Amino acid sequence: MSPARPTIKIAVPNKGSLSESASAMLREAGYAQRSDPKELVLFDEANGVEFFYLRPRDIAVYVGEGTLDVGLTGRDMLLDSHAPATEVMPLGFGRSRFRFAAPVDADLSVEKLQGLRLATSYPGLVETYLAERGVSTRLIKLDGAVETAIRLGVADVIADVVETGTTLRQAGLSLFGEPILQSEGILIRRSDAPEPPGLAQLVRRLNGVLVARNYVMMDYDVSAEVVEAACTITPGLESPTVAPLARQGWHAVRAMVPKPDAQQVMDDLWELGARAILVTDIAACRI
């Protein structure tokens, strides 16, 4: 009997904004995910992985303690926790900015925050940012719906997650100061610890999902005179594949193209004389 291979323990958000996207990404990477949102642990025996569904705020704590090997959480949550954990890779979902906001007519700047009451769910993140700028405020720690704190007279300003800005606008608030942080879902591991078993494979799989989501495969035919120019338009990730066609003086080219650029790239190739331009989705890959 072959010895059991070590299992990697992965923390996944159990609810909130990141939960569904995190599970969807892991599923796309070939891992089993829970079907019942009340399930707390799931053992994916085929892949040698154990998933623990936890509050996103707690994930950096477990990973920092070394109880779990890696976790999916938000960059803002990691920095807020001050846990000894490190970002391994960004995951491309749950993008937001972390910003200061105040009533529209407040005319504030970060320097003017000295002594004011500042409400936030991320005191660790805000305190570090302000300390670096020599500003100290009276921090009021709230669990959520922070935008309402000003109207209710609990705070003068807030610092919170902003995605579309709708919540702020509805509360009559506007942004001031530079963004404190650009956040998104990230993979984290414990700082200064040996690499957990299976991490390299997990990272390869997640990278594969990111590439499959963000790129398309483009095929086209082009005459020999303009092959070089065509390859400048579609340089691919490393180098495009160029193969001779049965038709004399023509080549077939195949290259990966960033998905948002695909339509413009097709127009440019057409102008150059390329024909039979085909775009296909990438289902999965290892780059």
Ligand X SMILES: Nc1ncnc2c1ncn2[C@@H]1O[C@H](COP(=O)(O)OP(=O)(O)OP(=O)(O)O)[C@@H](O)[C@H]1O
Residues found near ligand X in the complex (CB under 6 A): 15-18, 56, 74, 76-77, 94, 96, 144, 161, 163, 183
Shortest CB 96 distance to ligand X, Å: 4
Cα–Cα distance measured from residue 273 to residue 221, given in angstroms and rounded to the nearest whole number: 9
SS (H, E, C) the chain: CCCCCCCEEEEEECCCCCHHHHHHHHHHCCCCCCCCCCCCEEEEHHHCEEEEEECHHHHHHHHHHCCCCEEEEEHHHHHHHCCCEEEEEECCCCCEEEEEEEECCCCCCHHHHCCCEEEECCHHHHHHHHHHCCCCCEEEECCCCCCHHHHCCCCCEEEEEECCCHHHHHCCEEEEEEEEEEECEEEEEECCCCCCCCHHHHHHHHHHHHHHHHEEEEEEEEEHHHHHHHHHHCCCCCCCEEEECCCCCEEEEEEEEEHHHHHHHHHHHHHHCCEEEEEEECCCCCC
Residue 145 interacting partner from ligand PRP, Mg ion, ligand X, none (CB closer than 5 to 8 Å by kind) = ligand PRP
Instruction: Using the minimum distance from each CB to ligand X, give the nearer residue, 206 or 253.
Output: 206
Instruction: Report which residue's Cβ sits closest to ligand PRP.
Output: 144
State the nearest-atom distance from the C-beta of 122 to ligand PRP, in Å: 10
Residue 33 binds: one of Mg ion, ligand PRP, ligand X, none (C-beta under 5 to 8 A by kind): none
Cβ nearer to ligand X, comparing 75 with 251: 75
- Name the minimum Å distance from CB 136 to ligand PRP: 24
- The option from Mg ion, ligand PRP, ligand X, none interacting with 166 (CB < 5 to 8 A, set by class) reads ligand PRP
Write the binding mask 132 to 161 for Mg ion: x where contact by CB under 5 A, - elsewhere. ------------x-----------------
Q: Given candidates 41, 89, 131, 145, which one binds ligand PRP under the rule CB under 6 A?
A: 145
Segment contacting ligand PRP (CB under 6 A): 68-76, 154-162, 181-189, 214-222?
Answer: 154-162
- When the beta carbons of 120 and 234 are compared against ligand PRP, the nearer one is 120
Minimum distance between the CB of residue 144 and Mg ion, rounded to whole angstroms?
A: 5
Cα three-residue angle 153-157-160, rounded to 5 degrees? 115
Window 163 to 192, contacts with ligand PRP (CB under 6 A): 163-167
Q: Which residues contribute to the site for ligand PRP (CB under 6 A)?
A: 17, 144-147, 160-167
